[in-house]
A and B are shown apart, each in its own frame.
Chain A
Amino acid sequence: MIVLSTYFIVPLFWVIAASTKTTNDIFSTFGLWFAKSWHLWSNLKAVFTSDNGIYKLWLMNSLIYSISGAVGAALLCTLAGYGFAKYQFAGSKAIFRTVLGAVMIPSAALSIPTFIIFSKLGLVNTRWAVILPSLVSPLGVYLMKVYSDTSIPNNMIEAARIDGATEFKIFRTISLRMLMPGFITVLLLSIVGIWNNFFLPLIMLSSTNLQPLTVGLSIWYGRIAGGGSGRDANFQAVVITSAAVSLIPLIIAFLFLQRYWENGLSLGAVKE
């Protein structure tokens, strides 16, 4: 197990050590330990000031897309999952099966046609181009249906109905509270998915101040790996340090919210 964990930890340790070095040192010193001169602070400064501080914008965009997209997705999934679970309306089974089938549709197959459609609608290169597609999470609907089935006892709903409450009131006052853990799970899954998304924003956004961190870093990486007259070899230290910094938000989120993760994923794995 120790050997195994090494494989998983070493690259992260490498990037942290590398972000303290100058470009030259990255290639001449041992990867996992530090160089004689310590450059972390100057590297960090370069990360946040390069290109007029665009890194901060990228960071903010990632937050905006992740949080708004995830909240929207989680809401839609919760409503839909609840609807499928507690109500047997005409066609509900068929629609649910279609939604499930959609889990198998690769998102990459959709990105290019979505790009064409959005460009006809004038939505390309706007925030909506990234947020709207992120709202659709068939897996989230499935998870919320399962959760609704298992965590909300039908007799509570029936009792409330007898008391004359409307369906939506029942949902708001009784069911939602019980669905919270599931909601948070879908929320977290979506946040990670949207934060890490690369292909969609890559083709939808060309203005750098709308781009999220993933696309921004690929541009900076392209600058040291790209060709022609525009290269700046010393930029490499900045790229590596910015990669290291980008790890921080999600890792912090992970460490604190592990619990919900495991709950959520177990919903899908265990028989209901």
Chain B
Amino acid sequence: MVSMSASSLKSTKRTGLFFVLPFFLIFVLLLIVPLVYSGFISLYKKGLIGGNRYVGFENYITMIHDPQWVSSVGRVFLYFFLQVPIMLIIAVFAALAIDSGKLRFPKFFRIAIFIPYAVPAIIGCIIWGYIYGKNYGFLNQLLGYLHIHHVDWWGNSTQALGSISAIVTWEFAGYNMIILYAALKGLSTELYEAAAVDGAGALKIALRIKLPQLYPAIFLTLIFSIIGSFQLFTEPQTLNLQAPTVLNNYFSPNVYAYSVAFQGQQLNYAATISFSLGLIIAFFAIIATLVSRRRGGDSLL
């Protein structure tokens, strides 16, 4: 161990600052400043008539009493509890299956499930919009061949959530699967070999040995999913005309914020909705992080 003089040690340490500075400057300018600004303008109000005026927390109080906002938040919560578990179960199952060594053509399955992640959401919507067509869409075409009654995939709000969940799961299950699969690859194989010698089948190994060690990775995907699913926007926004009263302008908080901002010309109120959404997401993501720390004894965050 070579010793350095105190001052050169200090200047070496400070160099670190220079490495970090470029990123940090842009980070502050493009992340922190808009965030603070968002909070700032949510305290003001400006109408078509009359100018800008300070209103304190009035926008927030209006928001809490706004039935459309409440509806959008409730819906996105329901969506989270519906879509995320199913997607993560699929991802876990697929990752374990591919890793089990019992599957033929594992590479093919890996690619097949992952490919939709390469598809931008808007294109996914275009494709699925056609598949879900009420009278002439692909799914109803299939049902028709089986002499089953056509389904209106956007029939009501909950059904629409289900249909959208299918799209989003299609898009992201592969991404989560790869995270889990990579985690599996990092586990040591000694335990499996020992278990196999003891006569345990692939399924048992998967459930008893691999799965518990996957918990940190699963929590990671859970946190990503929290952040992603509460921000639901592209799918209902693009598919809006398929069912204007169901996929309406307050389907999710983001969709509502967009409508309020650009159609309703109420930028302050839109900022209120966006800012509070950010708080809600941060809150739940932090809770998930704390729980994961307790459980796995570690986490990356």
Chain A positions within 8 Å of B, measured between CB atoms, are 1, 4-5, 7-9, 11-12, 14-15, 18, 26-28, 30-32, 76-77, 79-80, 82-84, 86-90, 92, 95, 99-114, 116-117, 132-133, 135-136, 138, 141-142, 146, 158, 161-162, 167-168, 171, 192, 195-196, 198-199, 203, 213-214, 217-218, 221, 225-227, 239-240, 243, 246-247, 250-251, 253-255, 258, 261-263, 265-266, 268-272
Report chain B residues within 8 Å CB of A221. 122, 125-126, 129, 238
A14 touches which of B33, B90, B127, B233 (Cβ 8 Å): B127
Choose among A12, A83, A101 the residue with the greatest number of B CB atoms under 10 Å from its CB.
A83
B236, CB-defined interface residue at 8 Å: no
Tell me the interface secondary structure of chain B in the complex: helix
| Contact across chains for B231 and A261 when beta carbons are under 8 A apart | no
Closest CB of chain A to B111's CB: distance in Å?
A: 7
For the complex formed, measure the closest distance between the CB of A31 and the CB atoms of chain B, giving whole angstroms: 4
- The answer to the question of B275 belonging to the interface, with a C-beta cut-off of 8 Å to chain A, is yes
Cβ contact of A76, chosen from B23, B41, B271, cutoff 8 A: B23
Q: Does B37 contact A116, Cβ atoms closer than 8 Å? A: yes
Do A270 and B186 touch (CB < 8 A)? yes
Which residues of B are found within 8 Å of A110, using beta-carbon distances? 30-31, 34-35, 38, 274
A146 to B300, CA, bound (A): 10
Q: List 29 A-B contacts (CB under 8 A).
A: A14-B127, A80-B20, A83-B17, A84-B16, A87-B16, A95-B24, A102-B31, A106-B277, A109-B275, A109-B278, A110-B38, A113-B41, A117-B34, A146-B300, A162-B2, A168-B15, A198-B122, A214-B120, A214-B123, A225-B241, A239-B126, A243-B127, A247-B118, A254-B114, A258-B111, A262-B181, A262-B185, A266-B186, A268-B220
Q: Mark B6-33, 1 if CB is under 8 A from A, else 0.
A: 0000001111111110111011001101
Q: Are B122 and A217 within 8 A (Cβ)?
A: yes
- Smallest CB–CB gap between A203 and chain B, Å? 8
From B118, B271, B274, name the one whose CB has the most chain A CB atoms within 10 angstroms: B118
Q: How far is the CB of B267 from chain A (nearest CB, A)?
A: 7
**A108 & B26 in contact (Cβ 8 Å cutoff):** no
Contact yes or no, A104 B285, CB < 8 A: yes
Taking the nearest CB of chain B, how far is it from the CB of A214, in angstroms? 5
Most chain B CB within 10 A, of A4, A99, A142, A254, is at A4
Interface set, chain B 68-107, CB cutoff 8 A to A: 90, 93-94, 97, 103
Q: Are B278 and A31 closer than 8 Å at their CB atoms?
A: no
Smallest CB separation, B135 vs chain A (Å): 9
